[in-house]
Amino acid sequence: RAGVLIRAFDEITHPELPWLPCPMVWKGRALSCGKFGDRFPSTLLYPGQTDIYSKGEGGFVINPSGVAILCSYDHDGLTMKPEKLCHPPGVSNTCIPGCGTERCPEDKFWRCAYPADRLQLMMESHQARTGRAKDHNEVVLNADVWVSNLPRTIEAIFYLQSSNDAYRQRAEGVHSAFLDAYGVTAAI
């Protein structure tokens, strides 16, 4: 009961099906975004926290029971940096995608990833940071769990009040394609 978890459209998803992670290879060619296919960055919105990582394109409202949190940050976690990649991709005993290989000590969380079970602490720290330059938080989700729970992972597809016509049309197109792909209808 923390707020609303959303994922903005971005460049690290499947080229045609943005609710899926980016594959390593698609149509016979390697994709540079494939190395990020093991995680989905998202943002937790709550009263007083409405900043998201987006150019205005919109994205997904996430069903929290359909996902697993890997870690979170009270700021942009820079989860695409080389040191946050896992080799091989995916969760292991030595690496958590988007969270790096080092764990934050119990008493220090600045510039570190909060463990999955410390979301409340991340929110408290993020709230303390509010008032500075626009700053979203980042909640890193396990892409395998996301995919295994589709279509119920996604509760809605949104666009922003500030979205231009092209972004609104994209969100509407993704919505239609998603419904078609899973043979579901939109709830009213």
> Is a pLDDT exceeding 90 seen at residue 119?
no
Residues 126-165 have pLDDT tens digits of: 777 665 545 788 999 999 999 999 999 999 999 988 889 9
- Smallest CA-to-CA distance from 158 within 46, 19, 59 is with 59
- How far, in Å, CA of 112 to CA of 106, rounded? 11
Residues 71-88 have pLDDT tens digits of: 998 888 888 888 899 989
Q: What is the reported pLDDT for 48?
A: 73
In the chain, count of helices (H) and strands (E)?
A: 3, 9
Question: What is the reported pTM?
Answer: 0.90
Residues 26-60 have pLDDT tens digits of: 999 999 999 999 999 999 988 877 777 767 789 99
Cβ(43)–Cβ(5) below 8 Å: yes
> Is a pLDDT exceeding 60 seen at residue 173?
yes
Q: What residue type is assigned to position 180 of the chain?
A: D
| Helix/strand/coil (H/E/C) assignment for every residue in 67-110 | CCEEEEECCCCCCCCHHHCCCCCCCCCCCECCCECCCCCCCCCC
